[in-house]
Amino acid sequence: MNSLPEMVSRFADVRILVIGDVIVDHFVWGTVSRISPEAPVPVVNVTREELLLGGSANVLRNIVSLGGSGALCGIIGDDAMGEELVRLMTELPAPVDGLIRGRRPTTVKTRVVAQGQQVVRFDREETGPPSRTPLARMIGYLEQHLHEFDAVIVSDYSKGVVNEQLMIRLHRLLAEIRRDGRRLPLVVDPKPANLHRFIGATVITPNHHEAIRMSGMEIHDEQSLLAAARQIRDDIECEAVLITRGEAGMALLQGDSLVTIPTMAKEVYDVTGAGDTVAATLALGLAAGCAVVDAASLANHAAGIVVGKVGTASATREELLAALA
């Protein structure tokens, strides 16, 4: 039996495909020393700005940071922020042939942070299913390249890329590959409204509030947590459900048993992107040959690292190995 550090060393041998909503995270950092005379709001003196990979692109960023490799399949705008995202991808480095340019603008989330606290966030986006040509090009990319990967992550931010037609085609392609004897795990970071699209996933990773909406049940103790996880599993016929619960850690349903995993976070500064880290680490673990419970333990350690950082953060391979030690 391999130890968890030994499994982390195998991350270098696997490739993960991330499919989903691509976002640019724009951070405006500054300080506050006074309240505006025009309105009861803080005046932020801007000291620096930063553009980071966000959404499904941040999932890939975590994969690379943890020592793995992969590619991203999603849609960006034919605009300046789309160019910035391509530049960030090539610096990662990661291939950009799965990034399809569409007519609508690249999604940008801008967060203003002062004294380590988020003051305000504003989004620039157009949501809804992609138009016919970008969607056809995404499906064409999957048909040509899906067999090259060891696991797949679907990262749904409800912007419209993870749509019915795309998921139907993905499930069919996965079935064809699995008929040849390859497992090719599918990890889904879902949104409740789209649950039916993820039938047959290997592991689904809702947070506490998403699990309540997906199951239609209130979660207030371990018994109700187990009931909600079973309802989600039965609804989409997945192998396992991993519910992330913030300071309460995680809960994994596999088979008939619920395993609760206490949080590894020493301090929580910012939960931005923690779900991306969980999905990335979980998929890396499964692709490297981990049992689901061991992959979930690795994901829990990695999430404990990123919530101790401010901003859209990622965990490194060295940080994960140190946490395991």
Mean pLDDT by 10 residues, the chain (325 residues): 84 97 96 95 95 95 96 96 96 95 94 91 93 96 97 96 95 94 93 89 95 94 94 95 88 91 62 81 96 94 81 81 89
Among residues 189, 270, 276, 294, the one annotated as catalytic is: 276
Rg (CA), the chain: 19
- In sequence order, what are the residues at sequence separation of 6 or more whose Cβ sits closer than 8 angstroms to the Cβ of residue 320? 8, 66, 281, 298, 301, 302, 305
Question: Helix 292-306 to helix 317-324 angle, to the nearest 10 degrees?
Answer: 110
Q: What pLDDT is recorded for position 63? A: 97
Q: Is 276 helix (H, G, I), strand (E, B) or coil?
A: helix
Q: Which CATH class is domain 4-22+68-79+96-104+127-324?
A: alpha beta
Per the annotation, the verdict on 221 as an active-site residue is no
Q: What pLDDT is recorded for position 270? A: 46
Distance between CA 176 and CA 179 in Å, rounded? 5
Of 228, 284, 285, give the one whose Cα is nearest residue 251.
228
- CA dihedral for 270, 276, 279, 283, sign (positive or negative): negative
Alpha carbon distances (Å) from 292 to 91, 103, 153, 250, 295 = 32, 39, 15, 13, 5
Q: What pLDDT is recorded for position 265? A: 56
- CA dihedral in degrees (147, 151, 155, 161; nearest 10)? 10
- Per DSSP, 105 falls in state P
